[in-house]
């Protein structure tokens, strides 16, 4: 069967990675670009933590997808459901078949709410349904986080970090610090038992910042339980089953407030495709970690959350990945080998209080990779908070999505 339509470049995904790459390709003079995504709303997700912490309104994190779509890019308002890299075709949710010469894969990841028994049911109840469960990983629930935080005066507050790669590895603990700072200001911090359950073996994987964050957690009296993850949730009883990976034992933990981070993985159709990396338990796309070119299909590139890269999944990483993808795709179009290299740069702005932040920047080798001259961004700073709340969103909407930065 021949494709219903054919494009020189097809981009799957209209999020940060897809829009940024489309804009850069257009600036480079590439024509006949199509972007496949059904979403009508474009979200600036890094601010959802501040929404949950009562420091930003949800409306400031969204714009229409049409307003960020680069001019000259054909927007196909459908979802991808399968890909055949041998035939160079993608099948859409409407049953259309779209052919391509070159493919950029950037659909993001999926939130596996069903990955923890009981989590999907508990969080889906309107208003939490008395379960006390919330998550900043969805715009639907982020405002609820603030409602629960400001309504809490005593009890046990649990914050989780699941096993496997997640969007912005610092986000699970950022909201803990915002909540604790609020409770401190309200004079009730000593009435609240704060527990951080992380499947990781360290609070933060890069040593200089791990030490700072350990002091921050200690300042708030938070109990850090590493190598621990939630394996079941009873929303009616407000009770967690927690597995200790180090000892192989499990225990029960009651809670009054639970900020849950769901397990995450590649979209199911990616997992089932030939693009998936057999070495990835979560089905992410197999790419060369430096060129971002697919290991087996040279006309395919992937970036952003869906790429199987040994670095944190952040918008800052995408900002560095997109120029590499565009430069290398242009080289392949000219019949040349990719030469541009991505060094694994990523950054995590960690909010530690309502008006303080530190900026962790590092590469594949977990070496610090500072980008702000003359400032010690490893310290909690008010100017870094201003950057997080106001500077980075402006850079995102007006610079990054336009392919300028």
Domains (ranges, CATH) in the chain?
A: 5-109+266-339 (3.50.50.60), 113-258 (3.50.50.60)
Which are the catalytic amino acids? Answer: 168, 348
89: three-class secondary structure by DSSP: strand
Which long-range contacts does 117-121 make (Cβ < 8 Å, 24+ apart)?
A: 117/231, 117/232, 117/233, 118/232, 118/233, 118/234, 118/235, 119/230, 119/233, 119/260, 119/262, 121/235
Per-residue pLDDT of the chain (405 residues; tens, 9 = 90+): 457 799 999 999 999 999 999 999 999 999 999 999 999 999 999 999 999 999 999 999 999 999 999 999 999 999 999 999 999 999 999 999 999 999 999 999 999 999 999 999 999 998 777 899 999 999 999 999 999 999 999 999 999 999 999 999 999 999 999 999 999 999 999 999 999 999 999 999 988 899 999 999 999 999 999 999 999 999 999 999 999 998 999 999 999 999 999 999 999 999 999 999 999 999 999 999 999 999 999 999 999 999 999 999 999 999 999 999 999 999 999 999 999 999 999 999 999 999 999 999 999 999 999 888 778 888 999 999 999 999 999 999 999 999 999
pTM (2 decimals)?
0.95
Question: Could you tell me which of 101, 128, 143 has the C-alpha nearest to residue 298?
Answer: 101
Ordered alpha helix ranges (H), 265-365 = 268-271, 315-333
């Amino acid at each position: 069967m021949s494709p219903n339509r054919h494009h020189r470049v097809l981009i799957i995904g209209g999020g940060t990675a897809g829009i940024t790459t489309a804009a850069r390709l257009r600036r480079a003079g590439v024509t006949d670009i199509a972007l496949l995504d059904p979403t009508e709303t474009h979200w600036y997700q890094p601010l959802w933590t501040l929404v949950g912490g009562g420091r930003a309104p949800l409306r400031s994190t969204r714009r229409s997808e049409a307003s960020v779509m680069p001019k000259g890019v054909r927007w196909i308002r459908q979802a991808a459901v399968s890909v055949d890299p041998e035939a160079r075709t993608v099948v859409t949710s409407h049953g259309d078949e779209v052919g391509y010469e070159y493919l950029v894969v950037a659909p993001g990841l999926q939130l596996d709410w069903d990955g923890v028994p009981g989590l999907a049911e508990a969080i889906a109840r309107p208003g939490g349904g008395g379960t006390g469960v919330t998550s900043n990983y969805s715009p639907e629930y982020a405002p609820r986080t603030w409602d629960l935080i400001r309504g809490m005066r005593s009890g046990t507050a649990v914050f989780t970090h699941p096993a496997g790669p997640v969007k912005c590895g610092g986000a699970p603990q950022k909201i803990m610090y915002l909540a604790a700072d609020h409770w401190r200001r309200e004079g009730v911090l000593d009435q609240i038992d704060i527990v951080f359950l992380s499947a990781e073996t360290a609070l933060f994987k890069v040593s200089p910042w791990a030490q700072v964050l350990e002091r921050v957690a200690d300042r708030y009296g938070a109990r850090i339980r590493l190598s621990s993850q939630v394996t079941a949730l009873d929303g009616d009883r407000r009770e967690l089953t927690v597995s200790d990976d180090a000892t192989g034992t499990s225990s029960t933990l009651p809670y009054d407030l639970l900020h849950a981070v769901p397990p995450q993985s590649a979209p199911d159709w990616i997992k089932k495709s030939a693009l998936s990396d057999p070495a990835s338990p979560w089905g992410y796309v197999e790419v060369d970690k430096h060129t971002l070119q697919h290991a087996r299909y040279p006309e395919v590139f992937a970036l952003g959350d869906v790429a199987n890269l040994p670095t944190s999944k952040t918008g800052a990483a995408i900002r560095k990945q997109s120029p590499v993808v565009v430069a290398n795709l242009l080289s392949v179009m000219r019949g040349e080998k990719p030469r541009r290299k991505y060094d694994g740069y990523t950054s995590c702005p960690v909010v530690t209080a309502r008006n303080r932040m530190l900026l962790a920047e590092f590469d594949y080798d977990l070496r610090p990779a500072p980008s702000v001259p003359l400032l010690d961004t490893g310290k909690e700073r008010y100017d870094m908070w201003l950057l997080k709340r106001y500077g980075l969103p402006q850079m995102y909407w007006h610079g990054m999505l336009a392919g300028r930065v």
